[in-house]
Structure 1
Amino acid sequence: MILQKTAKALDELQPGSRRLPQRARTVLLLAGGKTLEELHGLLGGDHAAVAQELVEQGYLQLTDHAAASTATHPAPAAYPEVPTDGLSTAGTRMYLFDLCERLFANRHEALAQSLRTQLREARDLATLRHAGLSLLDAVQTHAGEERAAALREKLGALLDAPPQPA
């Protein structure tokens, strides 16, 4: 059986939301897509018992491996919607700043500062595209390929669009 995060878990993991103790939050962060055995191997101790409590409280759900591999995973709530009213330089920059803040500001300050600098210095969509690709690389490194792929799909219009004048 595979552990999957519920919407309640994603809400708990948002910056500024701290209803659970740190040990339970650690289990939530690592639980998505793993079995209880894998989680025990990563964390040891009685974290499997904490995971079971989180299942009972509605933060995690157990799914069979076949269902987990074929399920469609909605984009995490941490990702704002991509603007659909055309891609302006200013709008695109603000969208990428927002992503940077939501994903990295609280946990990886040095990385967030580096990404902010790239975004501040970007003066055209081609440079913003480069900054967006840097952000995606950071997401892949810190959150995994699945999250990066979901975000890459949402940002497809930005990353694949030809540069346009501001």
Structure 2
Amino acid sequence: MSPEQSSAPDGAAPDPSAAPDAGAPAALPAQPTAADAARAEPDETPTDGASDDATTAAGSTAGEVEIESVVDPTTVRRAPRYRAFFTVGVVLGTVLGLGLGGAWLQSPAAAPVFKPGVYFTVIVVTCAALGAGVAGVWAVVADRRSLRGRR
């Protein structure tokens, strides 16, 4: 901290009695360490062996509620993960496109084509897009099925 900076927060006047002498070097206040905190004794200890009502073993306050006491796992809706559905759809569509494109390249129908690589790429990309579309429909159907018993 430079001499121009104040240790007092904005809007608060510094305590003039705590100012160091002009000739003496300024000493930093002693900061407690982790070891000091570990050695510190608690102010109040429960006499009956029970923990304090305001805090739990996890350190949460009394205003917080444990999820297990509020949520019944038998009524939790199991919604699908759309990203996983789309990823599987794209991967399976790409694999199918590679198979179809490779089979098309080996067929006599690909012989008169000027650039068969372009057609192969179009087949692979189209199959990947169709796979993503089918997976999206499948995810929506799965989502609707998860809502069926909740209404």
TM > 0.5 between the two? no
Greater RCO (CA < 8 Å, at least 6 residues apart): 2
* TM-score normalised according to structure 2 size: 0.21
Relative to its length, the structure with more helix (as a share) is 1
Larger radius of gyration: 2
